[in-house]
Amino acid sequence: MTDLLEPRAIGQGLVRRDGELKVRGTATYAVETPVENPAYCHPVQATVARGRVTAMDTAAATALDGVLAVLTPFDAERLASTEDAEYAVLQSDEVAFRGQLIGVVIAETSEVARQAADSVRVTYDEQEHDAELAVDHPGLYKPEKVNAGHETDTAEGDVAAAMATPQRDGGVTLERTYSTAMYHNNPLEPHATTALWDADAQFLTLWDSTQGVHPDRAAVCEVFGLEQEQVRVVCPYVGGGFGSKGTPHANVMLAVMAARALPGRPVKLALTRQQMFFLAGYRTPTIQQMQLAADRRGRLQAIAIDVVEQTSRIKEFAEQTGVPARMMYASPNRRSTHRLAALDVPVPSWMRAPGECPGMFGPEVAMDELAEELGLDPVELRVRNEPEVDPETGKPWSSRNLVRCLREGAERFGWAERPRGRREGDWLVGYGVASSVYPTMRQATSTANLRYADGRYVAEIGAADLGTGAWTILPQITADALGVDVGDVDVRIGDTQYPTASVAGGSSGTNTWGSALVVAARAFRDKFGGSPDDGDEISGDVDQAAKDDAHAPYAFGAQFVEARVNADTGEIRVPRLLGVFGVGRVINPRTARSQLIGGMTMGLSMALHENSVWDPRIGQVANHDLAEYHITVNADVGEIEAVWLDEHDPYVNAMGSKGIGEIGITGTAAAVVNAVHAATGVRVRDLPVTLDKVLPGLP
């Protein structure tokens, strides 16, 4: 059990410390870094989905006034490590996917660089490609592990026997297939880097838009054979990331390569919106084959999910889509499997709530279908299958308040009076519900430095704030650990000159960095007391000795949706969206609400709009810009509300906090689909829910 902080600053809805800078436009982002006499890059990308580059004619490009250099696979620097094929830019003439980096132009202006890149003429030996995912793809294989180190397959009991046993006295079996689309992260700030290579000092400075300056530096050092002391990464502000900036992508390595080709001069590379659809990662489409068996009372007798998804032929990423079904509900018979198709496609990667986001869609829609078959209230069905302990590990929960979230959400939303086939004028109205879950994680590595200077406490840690509020909440945690006023604390983040910090990902940032700050602050108080002298200083690491391994730590939630579907056009509106969450102690209600609503909005977007339309003939997303890749906007939802329970969890960390950034998105899409079904009787199992899928079934 962790000794929780006494809250004083924690729990206050303090205004963001970085808010005014961002509103005024004075917060400096990576490509805006004020450097002297910068040069600009523009990539050259492959226009075939598979093959070899046999020649590149750069004469027209180099002839343009202002072009400084053109790098190709035939003359680029040889990298120290090409083990990670995504990072091995310009190291081979092989083309693994359409849009792959095959060159870069460096010029005096971004306009000239782009013009020159467009003038490079490339000749290919084009080869037949395979870029279409199917549930029966002949190349499906079992990965060794799935993301975050989870087992690929799990099994307990006998699902097949439970599904085959005749269901007596009103029992039900259900077999359905669900699918989620390909999704692309589209943060407003594109992936961007300013790089400066000092050849004399053998020192590289990167101003990069990243969710982790220290992991960013480690990757660059590995690829270029540099020591940690030779590289500094700076990133005080991030204009959104949603997982796509959690690990560096090929564009970062290209920027470094360009800077090393032009030593002493800073080089800027900002991907265009279209380029991000090839180079910045995406969420794999998933096909989820679900099986459920329940007795007449609604008690699950079997739950199984078999997942098919894609990865790139050059680099494996296996989304852990089947993982949440392993622990969400009680059942004596369980199975989960993952199979991948390695295709000639760009490299998939993290997107907000990897695994849990797509993995809660199939099971939560299936639960709604099961409730309908049994004639049960969908809320009640979930309550009846509440497990006493974690079904996957057998460990007791650190805290689990899913039932409370469902009950309170139902009361707030007016679930008991929900419409059944109600029509208001031209609109069909229905309510839907789904559960949410996300694991509570704390990374093993982060260090905080704390000192007293000029009458203020200054904490330094190489953390990242990608809009989640770290600039604001880390001082709150530090202040309470020190027992001082939050106004007396400054926190410095976003620079590898500060102590190492884990990536801002997996909703683990606050839990990890906050734990390191608490250790440092308590050590500071123990050593220097309440009246330190200028220059007093100490550091502290994440206290792994105090980490609880005896309990299963998760955050839970319930999503409620009102959907209205136009009976004539199939147009879908969502006037109300409510999320109720059990997320431990909330550090800052203002930033927490922002994160939860942001996640719920992305879940609504996933349900109704987002779809990277894939053209397998050429291996490319057809709608690769924000004009055609549709996302939820203000007009798409009337009222959106996120609330949380007063939840006490002494096991997760010294703050009692759980992750908030990702649980908001999980379950939302399923709740929307369930609400649309309640309104129309049409069951959509393949996202997104568009009017063409709804119209044919309307009464």
DSSP state of 76: S
Are 172 and 370 contacting, i.e. CB atoms less than 8 angstroms apart? Answer: yes
d(C-alpha 420, C-alpha 53), whole Å: 60
What does the DSSP assignment read for 188-216? SSPSEEEEEEETTTTEEEEEE--S-HHHH
Measure the CA–CA gap between 306 and 289, rounded to whole angstroms: 5
Sign of CA dihedral 533, 539, 543, 545: negative
Residue 169's Cβ-side half-sphere holds a number of Cα atoms within 13 Å equal to: 6
Which residues face 124 on adjacent strands?
Answer: 53
Q: Kindly provide the residue ranges of all beta strands, DSSP E only, lying in 262-393, ordered along the sequence.
A: 267-270, 286-294, 300-312, 334-343
Q: Per the structure block, which two tokens stand in for 403? A: 């039932």
Phi, psi of 311 (to 5 degrees): -140, 170
What distance in Å separates the CA atoms of residue 603 and residue 583, rounded to the nearest whole number? 18
Q: What does residue 510 show for φ and ψ, rounded to 5 degrees? A: -60, -45
CA distance 70 to 198: 20
Rounded Cα distance between 57 and 63, Å, is: 12
Active site residue 662: yes
Give CA torsion, residues 519, 522, 523, 529, to 10 deg: 160
Residue 178, helix vs strand vs coil: strand
How many CB atoms are closer than 10 A to CB 211? 27
Q: Quick check: bond before 439 cis, omega within 30?
A: no
Instruction: Exactly one of 86, 309, 319, 662 is catalytic; name it.
Output: 662
Vertex 355, ends 387 and 358: CA angle to 5°? 95
Q: Directed axis angle between helix 589-608 and helix 668-680, to 10°?
A: 50
Cα–Cα dist 674/561, whole Å: 8
d(CA 683, CA 47) in angstroms, rounded, equals: 39
**Site of tokens 């496609």:** 345
Q: What is the DSSP string of 602-659?
A: HHHHHHHT----EETTTTEES--STTTS----GGGEEEEEEEE-----TTS-TT-B--
Other beta carbons within 10 angstroms of residue 63's beta carbon come to 10
> d(Cα 694, Cα 393) in Å, to the nearest integer?
40
**What residues are annotated to the active site?**
662
